[in-house]
């Protein structure tokens, strides 16, 4: 019997239940407000218009359904510019901040256009919302669905990656600029880019003035559903929507996933002294955590206000927003900034099993995505290892600090380093999670770059205009004799070796590595560890460094390719000391530099780690065993290759004490381990061997 199969693709082009919903012959505007007494839509012809060309008034009887205001406006289409405007009680002492003159950004706006306009009448005129046609030719694109355990993350800033003239791109500082640099990303071998905030944020002042300190990083959201207009190459209102989709499609075609850094913890409206831009003017008491009877804002974010993420209305907005980015933009995951705020109840208290956190993990339409928590906030909550269970991974701040301190030579850091190398079981195993729930990083956008970590003992944030008071003072960094740049070859050699040591540790640890953009070529921020406002060469990727430091780029490429190919360093479960595959080799073994089982009672800055390869898979290359020798001492030291339960022939994979190209052997054809089993490690160096079988 002939069977005919009809393949029907499930599409996600249906509009969200809020915002500007595009129909064939007009637009339906939908807004939530429980306390408003009147609602209007302001329509504009141009992004520079100070006043609307038409005002559409909602009928309170016919255009309100419960707390939802909905009106259909015929004769308008995609590209239409608009604001909301709401009347209601103005009683700041009780948390009501309606302002009938305020022009309000739609919380569900799909795009914004223009900037804040100058004001001489006290009215804030924010960027205008754009009615968007979401149709796009995805050319069959789907989520890549790469396992988290097989992921290598590259954290980057959309504008900073190609803004420098050294990038040589046709569209510098934009989504399209990233497309031009995909060959470089592929050559590195990274499997995912984690983009710093791309949802809309202010780029000039609320009164139209140029900001004294530009908002470069973008951690100041004002429209969660809208890609940032400043990263578009075109000028047409809403063009950023198509350009963002083009970027995602091109990255997916190259096998690279897209993870977004999302900021569901505060907004650009600030505290009680801040402007009314959107949420304050629609339902302040719902969207924010308030205190003092409603007059003031709780500030767990350190940015003036705190989103009330576990209120049902706000929870729904977050939930719909994530679905919007996943199904309308095909993004592959999210990193949640200050995610511990999502663990706070409606009064700010820490709660077990917070509804929004559980909903994100359990949502069936987000099941293919990666969800990563920055598991702390600005008010003392620190949940690394305990943020949540199920699918949530976490930025592992303990990993960052322990690896930095070990290689700096701090006392007592060898046992913590071993724990981090093996996947941080102390943090994740008790909750039933696995090594891949640990996002391992040594540097990120927030703090020193890798180059600066080994070049500066102190932060140098004077350019930020805050008297060097901003930024973290606890960096676990060193300058090895000179603060900042130096021409002393012995210091430069040590700095480069330390960079290689930390990169090697990062990519050979169990867990998921995250590399900060530019660390592979020694990008510097000149000692600035909080470059949030530096939209200039301090923050931009200098592409001349790729050629200048091509040997380090090669070293990093080789490390990433090794990690991707060798499952011994990216296990899906925690390694233990018991043989599992019948060959007599435990999954992990620890030794001292003498080749004998490690004595953890001393304070030796040296460690040898053995990771056994998992069982071979049919029709796949046989995985290699890995032996790592790490020495953070200030003098060189003899190491002994340990005797294992069965003989293994070893070849050198990398030796950070050697100059390029002898520092790494990407084809795994390095020198054999000496028959004497004795090897010398220089001070501050690392050797890695791989089995020959």
Residue indicated by tokens 């990771």: 611
Pairing status of strand 81-87 against strand 38-44:
antiparallel
51 alpha-carbon distance from chain centroid: 38
d(CA 657, CA 659): 7
Residues 6 or more apart whose CB falls under 8 angstroms from that of 163 comprise: 172, 173, 177, 535, 540, 541
d(CA 423, CA 436): 8
Distances (CA, A) of 369 to 147, 359, 372: 10, 13, 10
Out of 200, 242, 337, 402, which one is annotated catalytic? 337
Distances (CA, A) of 295 to 34, 289, 305: 19, 11, 12
Considering only CA atoms, which of 692, 508, 693 is closest in space to residue 609? Answer: 508
Beta bridge partners of 288: 307
Longest CA–CA separation in the chain, Å: 90
Token pair belonging to 446: 């927030």
Is the Cβ–Cβ distance between 506 and 394 less than 8 Å?
Answer: no
Tell me if residue 550 is catalytic. Answer: no
DSSP 522-542: T---TT-S--TT--STTTS--
Question: DSSP strand E in 139-247: where?
Answer: 153-156, 192-195, 199-200, 223-227
Tell me if residue 573 is catalytic. Answer: no
Token pair belonging to 587: 């999954």
d(CA 169, CA 77): 34
Q: Is 128 exposed, middle or buried (0-12, 13-18, 19+ CB in 10 A)?
A: buried
Token pair belonging to 573: 């479960």
Cα dihedral 673→679→684→689 (10° resolution): 20
Token pair belonging to 24: 């064939």
Sign of CA dihedral 275, 277, 280, 281: positive
Run of H or E residues at 558: helix 550-565
First to last CA, the chain: 51
Out of 99, 106, 257, 374, which one is annotated catalytic? 374
User: Which amino acids are annotated catalytic?
Assistant: 337, 374
């Amino acid at each position: 019997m002939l069977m005919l199969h009809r393949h029907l693709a499930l599409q996600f082009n249906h509009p969200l239940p809020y915002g500007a919903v595009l129909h064939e012959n007009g637009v339906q505007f939908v807004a939530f407000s429980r306390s408003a007494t009147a609602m209007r839509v302001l329509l504009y012809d141009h992004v520079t218009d100070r006043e609307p060309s038409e005002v559409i008034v909602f009928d309170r009887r016919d255009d309100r359904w419960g707390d939802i205001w909905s009106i259909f406006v015929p004769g308008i289409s995609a590209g239409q510019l608009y604001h909301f405007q709401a009347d209601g009680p103005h009683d700041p002492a009780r948390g009501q901040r309606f302002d009938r003159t305020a022009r309000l950004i739609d919380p569900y706006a799909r795009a914004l256009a223009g900037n804040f306009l100058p004001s001489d009448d006290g009215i804030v005129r924010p960027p205008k919302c754009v009615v968007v046609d979401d149709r796009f030719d995805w050319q069959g694109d789907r989520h890549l669905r790469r396992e988290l355990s097989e992921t290598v993350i590259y954290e980057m800033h959309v504008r900073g990656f190609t803004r420098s003239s050294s990038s040589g791109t046709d569209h510098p500082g934009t989504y399209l600029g990233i497309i031009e640099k995909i060959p470089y990303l592929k050559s590195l071998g990274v499997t995912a880019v984690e983009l710093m905030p791309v949802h809309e944020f202010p780029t000039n002042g609320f009164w139209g003035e140029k900001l004294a300190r530009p908002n470069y990083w973008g951690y100041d959201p004002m429209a969660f559903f809208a890609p940032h207009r400043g990263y578009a190459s075109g000028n047409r209102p809403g063009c950023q929507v198509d350009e963002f989709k083009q970027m995602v499609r091109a990255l997916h075609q190259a096998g690279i996933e897209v993870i977004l850094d999302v900021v569901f913890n505060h907004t650009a409206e600030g505290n009680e002294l801040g402007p009314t831009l959107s949420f304050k003017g629609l339902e302040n008491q719902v969207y924010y955590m308030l205190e003092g009877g409603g007059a003031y804002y709780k500030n767990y974010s350190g940015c003036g206000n705190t989103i009330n993420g576990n209120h049902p209305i706000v929870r729904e907005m977050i939930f719909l927003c994530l679905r919007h980015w996943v199904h309308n933009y095909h993004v592959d995951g999210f990193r949640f900034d200050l995610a511990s705020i999502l663990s706070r109840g409606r009064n700010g208290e820490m709660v077990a099993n917070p509804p929004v956190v559980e909903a994100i993990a359990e949502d069936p339409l987000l099941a293919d995505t990666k969800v990563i928590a920055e598991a702390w906030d600005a008010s003392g909550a620190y949940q690394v290892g305990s943020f949540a269970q199920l699918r949530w991974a976490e930025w592992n701040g303990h990993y960052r600090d322990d690896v930095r301190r070990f290689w700096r030579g701090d006392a007592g850091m060898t046992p913590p380093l071993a724990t981090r190398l093996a996947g941080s079981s102390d943090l994740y195993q008790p909750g039933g999670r696995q090594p891949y729930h640990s996002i391992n990083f040594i540097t990120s956008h927030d703090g020193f770059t890798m180059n600066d970590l080994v070049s500066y003992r102190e932060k140098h944030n004077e350019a930020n205009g805050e008297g060097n008071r901003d930024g973290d003072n606890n960096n676990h960094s060193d300058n090895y004799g000179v603060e900042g740049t130096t021409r002393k070859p012995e210091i430069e050699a040590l700095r480069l070796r330390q960079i290689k040591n930390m990169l090697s540790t990062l990519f050979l640890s169990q867990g998921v590595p995250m590399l900060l953009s530019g660390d592979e070529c020694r990008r510097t921020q000149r000692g600035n560890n909080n470059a949030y406002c530096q939209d200039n060469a301090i923050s931009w990727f200098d592409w001349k460094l790729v050629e200048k430091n091509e040997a380090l780029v090669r070293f990093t490429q080789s490390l990433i390719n090794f990690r991707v190919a060798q499952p011994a360093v990216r296990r899906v479960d925690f390694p233990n000391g018991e043989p599992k595959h019948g060959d007599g080799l435990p999954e992990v073994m620890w030794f001292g530099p003498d080749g004998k089982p490690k004595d953890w009672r001393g304070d030796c800055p040296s460690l040898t780690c053995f990771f056994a390869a998992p069982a071979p898979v049919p029709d796949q290359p046989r995985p290699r065993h890995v032996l790592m020798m790490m020495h953070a001492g200030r003098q060189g030291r003899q190491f002994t290759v340990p005797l294992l339960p069965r003989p293994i022939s070893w070849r050198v994979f990398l030796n950070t004490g050697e100059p390029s190209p002898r520092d790494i052997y990407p084809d795994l054809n390095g020198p054999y381990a000496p028959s004497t089993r004795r090897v010398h490690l220089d001070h501050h160096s690392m050797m890695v061997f791989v089995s020959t079988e």
